[in-house]
């Protein structure tokens, strides 16, 4: 277990992303480099199981903003939360913009499309494919 990931998760909010997905890793890394968010971004596979086990199905499909083992937001709302934690006013503004009632539905559609197709995105591999729901 990575001690840094464990300490990041204890007592503060973290963005949990799929560490097995090359596209997800690259996207989160680019966001971190550009925005310098105060919220840590950690591969969910590196977090303590007690924080992630209740949310495994969602974690396979979307990023989650976790506060301990509680989900604060998922998908585009989680990314908006990450952006909102940036010290840069412009990125905080983008985070607020993504939460606007008229923008949120379109942002959610785009997020879901990207998530379903992340294995086709730059850096994506077959391992990035979102599992099909169990019927």
Decide if 10 contacts 36 (C-beta within 8 A).
no
**Closest to 24 measured CA to CA, from 134, 105, 127:** 127
Total Cβ atoms within 10 A of residue 25: 17
pLDDT, tens digit, 9 for 90 and up, residues 7-31: 445 558 999 999 988 889 999 999 9
**Helices 76-84 & 89-98 angle (0-180, nearest 10):** 160
pLDDT, tens digit, 9 for 90 and up, residues 41-75: 999 999 999 999 999 999 989 999 999 889 999 99
Residue 52 confidence (pLDDT): 93
Q: Examine the pLDDT at 98 and tell me if it is beyond 70.
A: yes
Total Cβ atoms within 10 A of residue 39: 20
User: Can you tell me whether residue 72 is helix, strand or coil?
Assistant: strand
Record the pTM.
0.84
Total Cβ atoms within 10 A of residue 55: 18
- Strand ranges for the chain from DSSP E: 13-17, 40-43, 64-67, 70-74
């Amino acid at each position: 277990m990575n001690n840094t990931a464990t300490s990041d998760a204890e007592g503060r909010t973290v963005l949990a992303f799929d560490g097995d997905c090359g596209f997800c890793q690259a996207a989160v890394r680019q966001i971190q480099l550009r925005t310098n968010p105060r919220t840590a971004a950690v591969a969910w596979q590196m977090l303590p199981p007690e924080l992630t086990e209740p949310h495994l199905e969602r974690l396979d499909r979307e990023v989650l903003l976790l506060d301990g083992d509680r989900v604060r937001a998922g998908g585009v709302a989680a990314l908006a939360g990450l952006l909102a934690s940036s010290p840069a006013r412009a990125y905080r503004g983008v985070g607020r913009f993504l939460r606007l009632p008229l923008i949120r539905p379109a942002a959610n559609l785009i997020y879901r499309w990207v998530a379903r197709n992340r294995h086709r995105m730059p850096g994506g591999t077959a391992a990035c494919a979102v599992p099909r729901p169990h019927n």
